[in-house]
Amino acid sequence: MATNENLPPNVIKQLAKELKNLDEIPPEGIKVGLNDDNFSVIFADIEGPAGTPYENGVFRMKLILSHDFPQSPPQGFFLTKIFHPNIANNGEICVNALKRDWNPNLGLRHILIVIRCLLIEPFPESALNEQAGKMLLENYDEYAKHARLFTGIHALKPKPKLKSGAISESTTTATTINVEQTNTSVKCVDQKNAAAPQLLPSPLAPKPENGQDYPVGTPPLVGTGVGGSKAAPALQKKESGLNKVPADKKKMDARKKSLKRL
Protein backbone atom coordinates (compact mmCIF):
# COMPACT_ATOMS: atom_id res chain seq x y z
CA MET A 1 0.00 0.00 0.00
CA ALA A 2 1.29 3.43 -0.93
CA THR A 3 1.59 6.51 1.25
CA ASN A 4 2.13 10.17 0.54
CA GLU A 5 5.88 9.63 0.95
CA ASN A 6 6.29 7.06 -1.83
CA LEU A 7 3.63 8.35 -4.24
CA PRO A 8 5.01 10.44 -7.09
CA PRO A 9 4.67 14.22 -6.53
CA ASN A 10 2.52 14.64 -9.62
CA VAL A 11 0.13 11.89 -8.39
CA ILE A 12 -0.13 13.53 -4.95
CA LYS A 13 -0.87 16.87 -6.60
CA GLN A 14 -3.56 15.33 -8.80
CA LEU A 15 -5.14 13.43 -5.90
CA ALA A 16 -5.21 16.57 -3.73
CA LYS A 17 -6.95 18.46 -6.51
CA GLU A 18 -9.54 15.69 -7.05
CA LEU A 19 -10.25 15.24 -3.34
CA LYS A 20 -10.75 18.97 -2.89
CA ASN A 21 -13.18 19.02 -5.81
CA LEU A 22 -15.08 16.02 -4.41
CA ASP A 23 -15.36 17.77 -1.05
CA GLU A 24 -16.64 21.03 -2.54
CA ILE A 25 -18.88 19.48 -5.20
CA PRO A 26 -19.69 15.92 -4.10
CA PRO A 27 -21.42 13.51 -6.51
CA GLU A 28 -25.05 12.73 -5.82
CA GLY A 29 -25.37 10.38 -2.85
CA ILE A 30 -21.61 10.22 -2.21
CA LYS A 31 -19.54 11.89 0.51
CA VAL A 32 -15.75 11.52 0.53
CA GLY A 33 -13.60 11.71 3.65
CA LEU A 34 -10.32 13.61 3.47
CA ASN A 35 -7.00 12.54 4.97
CA ASP A 36 -4.20 14.94 4.08
CA ASP A 37 -1.54 12.67 5.56
CA ASN A 38 -2.40 9.63 3.47
CA PHE A 39 -4.01 9.81 0.04
CA SER A 40 -3.47 6.11 -0.55
CA VAL A 41 -6.65 5.14 1.36
CA ILE A 42 -9.79 7.06 0.41
CA PHE A 43 -13.02 6.57 2.36
CA ALA A 44 -16.50 7.37 1.07
CA ASP A 45 -20.07 7.04 2.30
CA ILE A 46 -22.53 5.97 -0.39
CA GLU A 47 -26.28 6.46 0.04
CA GLY A 48 -28.49 3.65 -1.18
CA PRO A 49 -30.25 4.79 -4.38
CA ALA A 50 -34.02 5.32 -4.19
CA GLY A 51 -36.13 2.51 -5.59
CA THR A 52 -33.55 -0.17 -4.76
CA PRO A 53 -33.35 -2.60 -1.82
CA TYR A 54 -30.54 -0.38 -0.49
CA GLU A 55 -32.71 2.72 -0.17
CA ASN A 56 -32.40 4.60 3.17
CA GLY A 57 -29.05 2.95 3.82
CA VAL A 58 -25.57 4.47 4.03
CA PHE A 59 -22.68 2.21 3.02
CA ARG A 60 -19.08 3.02 3.87
CA MET A 61 -16.41 1.87 1.43
CA LYS A 62 -12.75 2.51 0.76
CA LEU A 63 -10.39 2.67 -2.20
CA ILE A 64 -6.82 1.44 -1.68
CA LEU A 65 -4.29 2.88 -4.13
CA SER A 66 -1.31 0.78 -5.19
CA HIS A 67 2.27 2.07 -5.21
CA ASP A 68 2.16 2.41 -9.02
CA PHE A 69 -1.18 4.20 -9.15
CA PRO A 70 -2.58 5.33 -11.56
CA GLN A 71 -1.02 2.72 -13.79
CA SER A 72 -2.71 0.02 -11.72
CA PRO A 73 -6.34 0.31 -10.60
CA PRO A 74 -7.20 0.79 -6.94
CA GLN A 75 -8.87 -1.92 -4.92
CA GLY A 76 -12.39 -1.26 -3.67
CA PHE A 77 -13.95 -2.64 -0.49
CA PHE A 78 -17.30 -2.17 1.24
CA LEU A 79 -16.80 -1.79 4.98
CA THR A 80 -20.55 -1.96 5.63
CA LYS A 81 -22.09 -5.40 5.22
CA ILE A 82 -24.25 -5.59 2.13
CA PHE A 83 -26.10 -8.33 0.25
CA HIS A 84 -25.09 -7.80 -3.38
CA PRO A 85 -24.01 -10.12 -6.21
CA ASN A 86 -20.90 -8.11 -7.05
CA ILE A 87 -19.69 -7.58 -3.48
CA ALA A 88 -18.02 -10.46 -1.69
CA ASN A 89 -18.58 -11.37 1.95
CA ASN A 90 -15.26 -9.70 2.82
CA GLY A 91 -16.46 -6.49 1.10
CA GLU A 92 -14.35 -6.79 -2.06
CA ILE A 93 -15.94 -5.06 -5.06
CA CYS A 94 -16.03 -6.66 -8.49
CA VAL A 95 -16.64 -4.04 -11.17
CA ASN A 96 -15.11 -3.79 -14.62
CA ALA A 97 -14.02 -0.19 -14.09
CA LEU A 98 -11.56 -1.44 -11.44
CA LYS A 99 -10.41 -4.42 -13.46
CA ARG A 100 -10.28 -5.02 -17.21
CA ASP A 101 -11.82 -1.65 -18.13
CA TRP A 102 -9.37 0.34 -16.00
CA ASN A 103 -7.95 3.49 -17.57
CA PRO A 104 -5.25 5.62 -15.86
CA ASN A 105 -7.13 8.70 -17.00
CA LEU A 106 -10.22 7.75 -14.99
CA GLY A 107 -10.63 10.00 -11.99
CA LEU A 108 -11.85 9.24 -8.48
CA ARG A 109 -15.21 10.81 -9.20
CA HIS A 110 -15.86 8.41 -12.08
CA ILE A 111 -14.87 5.39 -9.98
CA LEU A 112 -17.19 6.33 -7.10
CA ILE A 113 -20.13 7.00 -9.42
CA VAL A 114 -19.65 3.61 -11.11
CA ILE A 115 -19.66 1.85 -7.72
CA ARG A 116 -22.89 3.58 -6.70
CA CYS A 117 -24.47 2.66 -10.03
CA LEU A 118 -23.60 -0.95 -9.19
CA LEU A 119 -26.23 -0.74 -6.41
CA ILE A 120 -28.82 0.25 -9.02
CA GLU A 121 -27.93 -2.36 -11.65
CA PRO A 122 -26.05 -5.43 -10.37
CA PHE A 123 -24.33 -7.89 -12.72
CA PRO A 124 -25.15 -11.39 -11.47
CA GLU A 125 -23.19 -12.99 -14.33
CA SER A 126 -19.89 -11.95 -12.66
CA ALA A 127 -20.99 -12.50 -9.07
CA LEU A 128 -18.63 -12.61 -6.12
CA ASN A 129 -21.56 -13.50 -3.87
CA GLU A 130 -22.97 -16.57 -5.60
CA GLN A 131 -26.03 -16.80 -3.36
CA ALA A 132 -27.03 -13.21 -4.14
CA GLY A 133 -26.33 -13.68 -7.86
CA LYS A 134 -28.39 -16.86 -8.11
CA MET A 135 -31.25 -15.40 -6.09
CA LEU A 136 -31.30 -12.28 -8.27
CA LEU A 137 -31.61 -14.36 -11.44
CA GLU A 138 -34.21 -16.81 -10.13
CA ASN A 139 -36.32 -14.85 -7.67
CA TYR A 140 -35.88 -11.08 -7.54
CA ASP A 141 -38.43 -10.60 -4.74
CA GLU A 142 -36.51 -12.98 -2.48
CA TYR A 143 -33.23 -11.26 -3.38
CA ALA A 144 -34.70 -7.83 -2.63
CA LYS A 145 -36.04 -9.12 0.70
CA HIS A 146 -32.56 -10.27 1.76
CA ALA A 147 -30.94 -7.05 0.55
CA ARG A 148 -33.44 -4.90 2.48
CA LEU A 149 -32.88 -7.02 5.58
CA PHE A 150 -29.10 -6.44 5.41
CA THR A 151 -29.68 -2.75 4.80
CA GLY A 152 -32.00 -2.41 7.78
CA ILE A 153 -29.58 -4.22 10.09
CA HIS A 154 -26.21 -2.83 9.00
CA ALA A 155 -26.73 0.36 7.01
CA LEU A 156 -29.92 2.10 8.18
CA LYS A 157 -29.46 5.87 8.40
CA PRO A 158 -29.98 7.29 11.91
CA LYS A 159 -33.11 9.44 12.13
CA PRO A 160 -32.56 13.07 13.16
CA LYS A 161 -33.63 13.82 16.71
CA LEU A 162 -36.60 16.11 17.02
CA LYS A 163 -36.29 19.08 19.36
CA SER A 164 -39.39 18.08 21.23
CA GLY A 165 -38.09 19.42 24.53
CA ALA A 166 -37.87 23.03 23.37
CA ILE A 167 -41.19 22.82 21.56
CA SER A 168 -42.92 21.29 24.57
CA GLU A 169 -41.46 23.91 26.90
CA SER A 170 -42.58 26.83 24.76
CA THR A 171 -46.00 25.30 24.24
CA THR A 172 -46.39 24.70 27.97
CA THR A 173 -45.34 28.28 28.77
CA ALA A 174 -47.82 29.74 26.28
CA THR A 175 -50.60 27.54 27.63
CA THR A 176 -49.81 28.57 31.22
CA ILE A 177 -49.90 32.26 30.28
CA ASN A 178 -53.26 31.87 28.54
CA VAL A 179 -54.73 30.04 31.53
CA GLU A 180 -53.45 32.70 33.94
CA GLN A 181 -54.85 35.49 31.80
CA THR A 182 -58.21 33.71 31.64
CA ASN A 183 -58.29 33.21 35.40
CA THR A 184 -57.39 36.86 35.98
CA SER A 185 -60.19 38.01 33.67
CA VAL A 186 -62.70 35.79 35.46
CA LYS A 187 -61.59 37.14 38.84
CA CYS A 188 -61.92 40.75 37.66
CA VAL A 189 -65.42 40.09 36.36
CA ASP A 190 -66.43 38.40 39.62
CA GLN A 191 -65.04 41.28 41.71
CA LYS A 192 -66.83 43.86 39.56
CA ASN A 193 -70.11 42.02 39.84
CA ALA A 194 -69.72 41.68 43.62
CA ALA A 195 -68.92 45.40 44.08
CA ALA A 196 -71.77 46.69 41.91
CA PRO A 197 -75.13 46.84 43.78
CA GLN A 198 -77.88 44.91 42.12
CA LEU A 199 -80.96 47.02 41.38
CA LEU A 200 -84.17 45.23 42.25
CA PRO A 201 -87.49 46.45 40.94
CA SER A 202 -89.72 48.14 43.49
CA PRO A 203 -92.72 46.03 44.53
CA LEU A 204 -94.90 49.11 43.95
CA ALA A 205 -93.59 49.71 40.46
CA PRO A 206 -96.08 48.95 37.70
CA LYS A 207 -95.46 45.92 35.54
CA PRO A 208 -95.31 46.12 31.76
CA GLU A 209 -98.50 45.79 29.86
CA ASN A 210 -97.56 42.31 28.57
CA GLY A 211 -97.51 41.05 32.14
CA GLN A 212 -93.76 40.10 32.20
CA ASP A 213 -91.52 41.14 35.06
CA TYR A 214 -88.62 43.48 34.49
CA PRO A 215 -85.17 41.90 34.42
CA VAL A 216 -83.23 41.99 37.67
CA GLY A 217 -81.19 45.19 37.92
CA THR A 218 -83.30 47.10 35.39
CA PRO A 219 -85.44 49.89 36.95
CA PRO A 220 -88.89 50.42 35.43
CA LEU A 221 -89.06 53.18 32.86
CA VAL A 222 -91.12 56.29 33.82
CA GLY A 223 -92.43 58.88 31.40
CA THR A 224 -93.79 58.92 27.92
CA GLY A 225 -92.39 56.01 25.96
CA VAL A 226 -92.64 54.99 22.38
CA GLY A 227 -96.19 55.37 21.17
CA GLY A 228 -97.01 58.20 23.67
CA SER A 229 -97.82 56.12 26.80
CA LYS A 230 -98.96 58.18 29.84
CA ALA A 231 -96.79 58.93 32.91
CA ALA A 232 -97.15 57.04 36.16
CA PRO A 233 -100.11 58.24 38.36
CA ALA A 234 -97.86 58.98 41.37
CA LEU A 235 -95.66 61.32 39.32
CA GLN A 236 -98.73 63.12 37.90
CA LYS A 237 -100.12 63.76 41.41
CA LYS A 238 -96.78 65.17 42.56
CA GLU A 239 -96.56 67.52 39.60
CA SER A 240 -100.20 68.75 40.11
CA GLY A 241 -99.46 69.45 43.81
CA LEU A 242 -96.43 71.56 42.89
CA ASN A 243 -98.51 73.55 40.43
CA LYS A 244 -101.18 74.40 43.09
CA VAL A 245 -98.71 76.08 45.51
CA PRO A 246 -97.75 79.04 43.26
CA ALA A 247 -101.45 79.68 42.41
CA ASP A 248 -102.53 79.98 46.10
CA LYS A 249 -99.60 82.31 46.82
CA LYS A 250 -100.66 84.66 44.00
CA LYS A 251 -104.21 84.87 45.46
CA MET A 252 -102.85 85.79 48.91
CA ASP A 253 -100.64 88.55 47.49
CA ALA A 254 -103.57 90.01 45.55
CA ARG A 255 -105.73 90.13 48.72
CA LYS A 256 -102.98 91.91 50.66
CA LYS A 257 -102.68 94.60 47.98
CA SER A 258 -106.46 95.16 48.04
CA LEU A 259 -106.48 95.63 51.84
CA LYS A 260 -103.65 98.17 51.61
CA ARG A 261 -105.62 100.27 49.09
CA LEU A 262 -108.52 100.39 51.48
DSSP conformation letters of 174-241: HHHHHHHHHHHHHHHHHHHHHHSPPPPPPTTSPPPTTSPPPPTT-PPP-S--TT-PPPPHHHHHHHHH
What are the tens digits of pLDDT across the range 136-187?
999 999 999 999 999 999 998 765 554 433 333 443 444 444 545 555 554 5
Q: Which of 32, 94, 111, 135 is catalytic?
A: 94
Distance CA 193, CA 190 (A): 5
DSSP conformation letters of 115-148: HHHHHHS--GGG-SSHHHHHHHHH-HHHHHHHHH
Active site residue 94: yes
What are the tens digits of pLDDT across the range 63-99?
999 888 999 999 999 999 999 999 999 999 999 989 8
Q: Are 9 and 17 in contact (CB under 8 A)?
A: no
What are the tens digits of pLDDT across the range 214-232?
444 444 444 444 444 444 4
pLDDT of residue 202: 47
223: number of Cβ within 10 Å? 9
pTM of the predicted model over 0.95: no
